[in-house]
Amino acid sequence: MITRRATFSASHRYWLPELSAEENQACFGACSLAPGHGHNYELIVAMGGGLDPDGMVLNLSEVKHAIRSQVTAQLDYRCLNEVWPEFDVSRPEGRLPTTEALGQAIWTRLAPLLPLVGLRLYEQPTLWVDLLPPPTALASAPASSPHAALSSPAPMEAFLSIRTHFAAAHRLARPELSQSENEAIYGKCARPHGHGHNYLLDVTVRGPIDPRTGMVCDLAVLQRLVDDLVVEPFDHTFLNKDVEHFATTVPTAENIALHIADLLTGPIAASGARLHKVRLQESPNNAAEVFAEVPQLEMRPAALEALAAV
């Protein structure tokens, strides 16, 4: 598997003609305002295959040309609503150029040319989407034409992620153990007065992309749930004393991530998406991941790992 990175700058506006100005404002907030707004997008493309006699999966010059001709040359410094026909919302089949919908449109253009196994599109450092082919696409791709099965319009996996942060203190200690016993297990983290971290929190949801809004879920609702259920209750607290759950549970990174997943799973399901993963980075050297579902991703986690590593 190899990856290739590309960047482009583009603007977009979220506005559906069948909605009134008030309804568009209610649905899409500031994103509905004319004339739109822009982002510096970052695209990461993951491709798979065996090595050729030259020791390469693909000729990177050809990969670079495909991405430039099919994506960046068409989108850079353009308004997404006006470039590609799938974003013409005056047509019934048009959809808004959200991060999710844009990623899927890029996939359909690259799939006939490259053996895609995954694609990540950052709209900004705190918002990105991962796309994977349907499980049957990878399984059914004929050896003579490795790209053919991946270029079909079959439903794709879409994983939408948002990143936020909070600051909190904690102490790692089990009440039934002595101080020396706790220090033997938790080291400096068992010191009586605790210590703090600036936590980075990534929340990933999974679901189909709506054919009209272009969204996996209402992004504003997702952000509000994370803020209301996690960031506000946890930020600038001593977790052991201020968050009831950790009065009886040691607030390790693993337990904090697990509790966040428990808090979010039901409300996110009620919003129409599925919580896929919570990743909590406690320090540059320490992070915990909790998977809230057990999807049948077969070989595809390798594609997600490759995208995340770039």
CA distance 280 to 198: 10
Long-range pairs for 145-149: beta carbons < 8 A, 24 or more residues apart = 146/49, 146/115, 147/111, 147/112, 147/113, 147/114, 147/115, 147/116
Run of H or E including 280? strand 274-283
Q: Is 236 known to be catalytic?
A: yes
| Catalytic residue selected from 65, 82, 236, 293 | 236
Q: Which of 86, 100, 157, 282 is labelled catalytic?
A: 282
CA distance 3 to 207: 24
Can you list the positions of beta strands (E) in 138-191? 157-170
Cα–Cα dist 114/269, whole Å? 34
Ordered alpha helix ranges (H), the chain: 21-28, 60-67, 73-75, 80-83, 99-110, 135-140, 179-186, 219-226, 232-234, 239-242, 253-270, 301-309
Single out the catalytic residue among 42, 79, 189, 254.
Answer: 189
* Sole residue written with tokens 């305002």: 33
**In degrees rounded to 5, what are phi and psi of residue 122?**
-90, 125
Q: b/e for 86-112, b at 16 or more Cβ within 10 A?
A: bbebeeeebbbbbbbbbbbbbbbbbbe
Catalytic residues: 189, 236, 282
